[in-house]
Amino acid sequence: MGQLDCLTLLVGMMASLSACRPAATTRMEAYRQPPPPPTNKVVKTDAEWRAQLSQEQYQVLRHAATERPFGPVYEQFRRQGQGTYYCAGCGAELFSSNQKFDSHCGWPSFYDPADAKNVITRDDFAMGMVRTEVLCAVCGGHLGHVFKGEGFPTPTNLRYCINGVALKFVPGPAGGGAGGGQTPPKSDRSDR
Protein backbone atom coordinates (compact mmCIF):
# COMPACT_ATOMS: atom_id res chain seq x y z
CA MET A 1 0.00 0.00 0.00
CA GLY A 2 1.41 3.36 -0.98
CA GLN A 3 1.87 6.22 1.43
CA LEU A 4 -1.03 8.09 -0.12
CA ASP A 5 -3.34 5.09 0.26
CA CYS A 6 -2.39 4.80 3.91
CA LEU A 7 -3.10 8.45 4.42
CA THR A 8 -6.47 8.21 2.66
CA LEU A 9 -7.38 5.21 4.80
CA LEU A 10 -6.35 6.99 7.98
CA VAL A 11 -8.31 10.11 7.11
CA GLY A 12 -11.33 7.96 6.25
CA MET A 13 -11.08 6.06 9.53
CA MET A 14 -10.81 9.28 11.51
CA ALA A 15 -13.81 10.73 9.70
CA SER A 16 -15.97 7.69 10.38
CA LEU A 17 -14.82 7.58 14.01
CA SER A 18 -15.76 11.17 14.59
CA ALA A 19 -19.09 10.62 12.84
CA CYS A 20 -20.26 7.90 15.20
CA ARG A 21 -19.30 9.47 18.49
CA PRO A 22 -20.61 12.78 19.82
CA ALA A 23 -18.58 15.55 18.28
CA ALA A 24 -16.02 16.79 20.76
CA THR A 25 -14.39 19.46 18.72
CA THR A 26 -16.81 22.33 19.28
CA ARG A 27 -15.48 24.98 21.62
CA MET A 28 -17.55 27.19 23.84
CA GLU A 29 -18.03 30.42 21.96
CA ALA A 30 -16.37 33.44 23.54
CA TYR A 31 -16.94 37.09 22.76
CA ARG A 32 -15.61 40.42 23.96
CA GLN A 33 -19.03 42.05 24.05
CA PRO A 34 -22.34 40.67 25.38
CA PRO A 35 -24.71 39.58 22.60
CA PRO A 36 -27.73 41.84 22.09
CA PRO A 37 -30.34 40.74 24.65
CA PRO A 38 -33.44 39.24 23.00
CA THR A 39 -36.54 41.28 23.74
CA ASN A 40 -39.09 38.62 22.82
CA LYS A 41 -39.26 34.85 22.73
CA VAL A 42 -37.09 33.54 19.93
CA VAL A 43 -38.89 31.13 17.60
CA LYS A 44 -37.11 29.67 14.57
CA THR A 45 -37.68 26.79 12.21
CA ASP A 46 -35.58 23.69 12.41
CA ALA A 47 -33.82 24.74 9.19
CA GLU A 48 -33.01 28.15 10.64
CA TRP A 49 -31.51 26.64 13.81
CA ARG A 50 -29.53 24.18 11.73
CA ALA A 51 -28.10 27.01 9.65
CA GLN A 52 -27.25 29.19 12.66
CA LEU A 53 -25.75 26.64 15.04
CA SER A 54 -22.79 24.31 14.80
CA GLN A 55 -23.68 20.64 14.50
CA GLU A 56 -23.01 19.99 18.18
CA GLN A 57 -24.80 23.13 19.36
CA TYR A 58 -27.80 22.11 17.24
CA GLN A 59 -27.87 18.58 18.67
CA VAL A 60 -27.61 19.85 22.25
CA LEU A 61 -29.87 22.90 22.10
CA ARG A 62 -32.56 21.57 19.77
CA HIS A 63 -32.43 17.80 20.41
CA ALA A 64 -31.33 17.58 24.05
CA ALA A 65 -28.09 15.78 23.24
CA THR A 66 -25.30 15.78 25.83
CA GLU A 67 -21.76 16.82 25.01
CA ARG A 68 -18.92 14.49 25.90
CA PRO A 69 -17.86 14.93 29.55
CA PHE A 70 -14.34 16.17 30.33
CA GLY A 71 -14.05 17.44 26.76
CA PRO A 72 -12.32 20.61 25.54
CA VAL A 73 -15.33 22.72 26.48
CA TYR A 74 -15.07 21.61 30.11
CA GLU A 75 -11.37 22.47 30.14
CA GLN A 76 -12.21 25.90 28.72
CA PHE A 77 -14.84 26.37 31.43
CA ARG A 78 -12.40 25.46 34.20
CA ARG A 79 -9.86 27.99 32.95
CA GLN A 80 -12.31 30.85 32.45
CA GLY A 81 -12.18 33.69 34.95
CA GLN A 82 -14.88 36.19 35.76
CA GLY A 83 -17.58 36.62 33.17
CA THR A 84 -21.10 35.99 32.04
CA TYR A 85 -22.59 33.05 30.16
CA TYR A 86 -25.23 33.61 27.49
CA CYS A 87 -27.41 31.21 25.49
CA ALA A 88 -25.61 30.16 22.30
CA GLY A 89 -28.99 29.99 20.59
CA CYS A 90 -30.50 33.38 21.36
CA GLY A 91 -28.08 35.44 23.45
CA ALA A 92 -30.17 35.48 26.64
CA GLU A 93 -28.13 35.91 29.84
CA LEU A 94 -28.14 32.60 31.70
CA PHE A 95 -25.31 32.11 34.18
CA SER A 96 -22.51 34.06 35.80
CA SER A 97 -19.07 33.10 37.03
CA ASN A 98 -20.34 34.22 40.46
CA GLN A 99 -22.41 31.04 40.62
CA LYS A 100 -19.90 28.78 38.90
CA PHE A 101 -18.26 25.91 40.78
CA ASP A 102 -16.18 22.90 39.92
CA SER A 103 -18.23 19.79 40.59
CA HIS A 104 -15.62 17.57 38.85
CA CYS A 105 -18.48 16.01 36.89
CA GLY A 106 -17.10 16.79 33.45
CA TRP A 107 -19.60 19.50 32.53
CA PRO A 108 -19.84 23.20 33.44
CA SER A 109 -21.64 23.52 36.79
CA PHE A 110 -23.46 26.42 38.42
CA TYR A 111 -25.40 26.55 41.67
CA ASP A 112 -27.89 29.14 40.43
CA PRO A 113 -28.86 30.93 37.23
CA ALA A 114 -27.66 34.52 36.94
CA ASP A 115 -30.92 35.69 35.44
CA ALA A 116 -33.65 33.39 36.75
CA LYS A 117 -36.27 34.66 34.35
CA ASN A 118 -34.24 33.34 31.42
CA VAL A 119 -33.86 29.81 32.81
CA ILE A 120 -36.76 27.38 33.17
CA THR A 121 -36.96 23.76 34.24
CA ARG A 122 -39.27 20.85 33.53
CA ASP A 123 -39.47 17.17 34.37
CA ASP A 124 -37.58 14.95 31.95
CA PHE A 125 -38.57 11.26 31.83
CA ALA A 126 -36.04 10.25 29.17
CA MET A 127 -33.55 7.42 29.78
CA GLY A 128 -35.85 5.64 32.25
CA MET A 129 -35.40 8.11 35.11
CA VAL A 130 -36.90 11.34 36.29
CA ARG A 131 -34.57 14.27 35.97
CA THR A 132 -35.13 18.01 35.87
CA GLU A 133 -34.27 19.47 32.51
CA VAL A 134 -32.89 23.02 32.28
CA LEU A 135 -33.94 25.12 29.30
CA CYS A 136 -33.50 28.63 28.00
CA ALA A 137 -36.81 30.41 28.60
CA VAL A 138 -36.31 32.66 25.58
CA CYS A 139 -35.61 30.18 22.77
CA GLY A 140 -36.57 26.89 24.46
CA GLY A 141 -33.07 25.50 23.91
CA HIS A 142 -31.98 22.52 26.01
CA LEU A 143 -29.12 23.48 28.32
CA GLY A 144 -28.70 20.49 30.64
CA HIS A 145 -30.17 19.21 33.90
CA VAL A 146 -30.32 20.40 37.50
CA PHE A 147 -29.64 18.07 40.41
CA LYS A 148 -30.51 18.74 44.03
CA GLY A 149 -29.15 17.63 47.36
CA GLU A 150 -25.80 16.23 46.27
CA GLY A 151 -23.98 17.86 49.17
CA PHE A 152 -21.79 20.32 47.31
CA PRO A 153 -20.69 23.18 49.59
CA THR A 154 -22.70 25.81 47.72
CA PRO A 155 -25.47 28.09 48.98
CA THR A 156 -28.28 26.28 47.14
CA ASN A 157 -27.25 22.61 47.11
CA LEU A 158 -28.22 22.64 43.43
CA ARG A 159 -26.00 21.65 40.53
CA TYR A 160 -27.00 23.09 37.18
CA CYS A 161 -25.11 20.67 34.97
CA ILE A 162 -24.86 22.55 31.69
CA ASN A 163 -23.52 21.69 28.24
CA GLY A 164 -20.73 24.15 27.51
CA VAL A 165 -21.50 24.29 23.79
CA ALA A 166 -24.94 25.71 24.65
CA LEU A 167 -23.21 28.73 26.20
CA LYS A 168 -21.43 31.84 24.97
CA PHE A 169 -18.89 33.31 27.36
CA VAL A 170 -18.12 36.99 27.72
CA PRO A 171 -15.23 37.70 30.09
CA GLY A 172 -15.43 40.69 32.38
CA PRO A 173 -17.00 41.69 35.67
CA ALA A 174 -19.49 38.94 36.43
CA GLY A 175 -23.11 39.93 36.14
CA GLY A 176 -26.07 38.27 37.79
CA GLY A 177 -27.00 38.76 41.39
CA ALA A 178 -28.80 35.53 42.13
CA GLY A 179 -26.09 33.85 44.16
CA GLY A 180 -23.88 34.87 47.02
CA GLY A 181 -25.73 32.86 49.61
CA GLN A 182 -29.04 34.54 49.08
CA THR A 183 -32.39 32.85 48.69
CA PRO A 184 -32.55 30.90 45.42
CA PRO A 185 -34.59 32.64 42.75
CA LYS A 186 -38.22 31.78 42.34
CA SER A 187 -38.67 28.71 40.20
CA ASP A 188 -41.66 26.98 38.69
CA ARG A 189 -40.06 23.66 39.53
CA SER A 190 -41.83 21.83 42.32
CA ASP A 191 -39.47 20.72 45.03
CA ARG A 192 -39.09 17.04 45.49
Interface ranges with Zn ion (CB under 5 A): 87, 89-90, 92, 136, 138-139, 141
State which residue, 65 or 154, has the beta carbon closest to Zn ion: 65
DSSP state of 122: E
State which residue, 110 or 152, has the beta carbon closest to Zn ion: 110
Those residues with Cβ within 8 angstroms of residue 76's Cβ, 6 or more apart along the chain or in another chain: 27, 28, 30, 164, 169
CA distance 91 to 85: 9
State which residue, 71 or 89, has the beta carbon closest to Zn ion: 89
- Name the minimum Å distance from CB 58 to Zn ion: 13
CA distance 66 to 22: 8
Closest CA to 161 of 143, 175, 180, 183: 143
- Name the minimum Å distance from CB 82 to Zn ion: 22
Q: What are the φ and ψ backbone dihedral angles of 171, each rounded to 5 degrees?
A: -70, 155
Residue 161 designated active-site: yes
State which residue, 53 or 73, has the beta carbon closest to Zn ion: 53
Those residues with Cβ within 8 angstroms of residue 64's Cβ, 6 or more apart along the chain or in another chain: 124, 126, 133, 142
Given a contact cutoff of 8 angstroms between Cβ atoms, the answer to whether 22 and 67 are in contact is yes
CA distances from 111 to 56, 151, 170, 184, 186 (A): 24, 12, 19, 9, 14
Catalytic residues: 161
